[in-house]
Structure 1
Amino acid sequence: MTDSALIDGGLRERKRAATRGAITAVARNLTAERGFNGYTVEEVCDLAEISRRTFFNYFPTKEDAILGHMADEVPAGIFDDFVAAGASSPSGQISERLFQDLIQLSLKLSEHLSGSEEETRQLIGVIKKEPQLILRIIGATEEREAEFARVLARREGVPPDHPVVTMAVTLLGSISRKTSMVYFSDGNTRPFRELLLENISAARQLFTQPYQEPVEGTR
Structure 2
Amino acid sequence: MAWSAKLYFVNESAAIAGGLRERKRAATRSAITSIARKLTAERGLNGYTVEEVCEQADISRRTFFNYFPTKEDAVLGHIDDDIPAGVLEEFIAGGHASPAGEISPTLFQDLVRLSLKLSEHMAASEEETRQLIGVIKKEPQLILRIIGVTEQREAQFARDVALREGVAPDHPVVQMAVVLLGTIARKSSMAYFSEGNTRPYAELLMENISAASELFSQPFELPVPAEGHS
Matches within 5 A, 1:167-206: 167-206=176-215
Residue identity matched to 2:118: L
- Find the aligned partners of 1:97 and 1:26 in 2 and give their Cα distance: 40
The reply to whether residue 16 of structure 1 matches residue 21 of structure 2 is: no
- Find the aligned partners of 1:113 and 1:98 in 2 and give their Cα distance: 22
Displacement, 1:155? 1.0
- Find the aligned partners of 1:143 and 1:155 in 2 and give their Cα distance: 19
Correspondence for 1:75 among 57, 73, 84: 84
Aligned to 2:94: 85
- Find the aligned partners of 2:36 and 2:17 in 1 and give their Cα distance: 29
Q: Residue deviations 1:130-177, cap 9 Å, x none?
A: 111111111111111111111111111111000000101001100000
- Find the aligned partners of 2:102 and 2:30 in 1 and give their Cα distance: 39
Q: Secondary structure at the residue paired with 1:215?
A: coil
- Find the aligned partners of 1:200 and 1:36 in 2 and give their Cα distance: 36
Displacement, 1:43? 2.1
Instruction: Give the structure with higher Rg (CA).
Output: 2
User: How high is the TM-score relative to the length of structure 2?
Assistant: 0.91
Which aligned segments of 4 or more residues in structure 1 are displaced greater than 6 angstroms? none
Aligned to 2:115: 106
Between Structure 1 and Structure 2, how many residues are aligned? 218
Residue identity matched to 1:188: N
- Find the aligned partners of 2:181 and 2:35 in 1 and give their Cα distance: 31
Aligned to 1:130: 139
Residue identity matched to 2:221: Q
- In the alignment, structure 1 segments of 5+ residues that lack a partner are none
The reply to whether residue 49 of structure 1 matches residue 58 of structure 2 is: yes
- Find the aligned partners of 2:192 and 2:96 in 1 and give their Cα distance: 34
Displacement, 1:73? 2.6
- Find the aligned partners of 2:52 and 2:115 in 1 and give their Cα distance: 37
- Find the aligned partners of 1:74 and 1:127 in 2 and give their Cα distance: 22
Correspondence for 2:162 among 153, 168, 172: 153
More deviation in 168-177 or 134-143? Answer: 134-143
Q: Residue deviations 1:33-90, cap 9 Å, x none?
A: 1111111222222222222211110001110001111212322211111111111111
- Find the aligned partners of 2:98 and 2:193 in 1 and give their Cα distance: 38
Indicate the RMSD between aligned Cα atoms, in angstroms: 1.3
- Find the aligned partners of 1:83 and 1:168 in 2 and give their Cα distance: 14
Residue identity matched to 1:167: M
Aligned to 1:28: 37
Residue identity matched to 1:15: K
- Find the aligned partners of 1:22 and 1:116 in 2 and give their Cα distance: 11
Residue identity matched to 2:160: V
Q: Secondary structure at the residue paired with 1:154?
A: helix
User: How high is the TM-score relative to the length of structure 1?
Assistant: 0.95
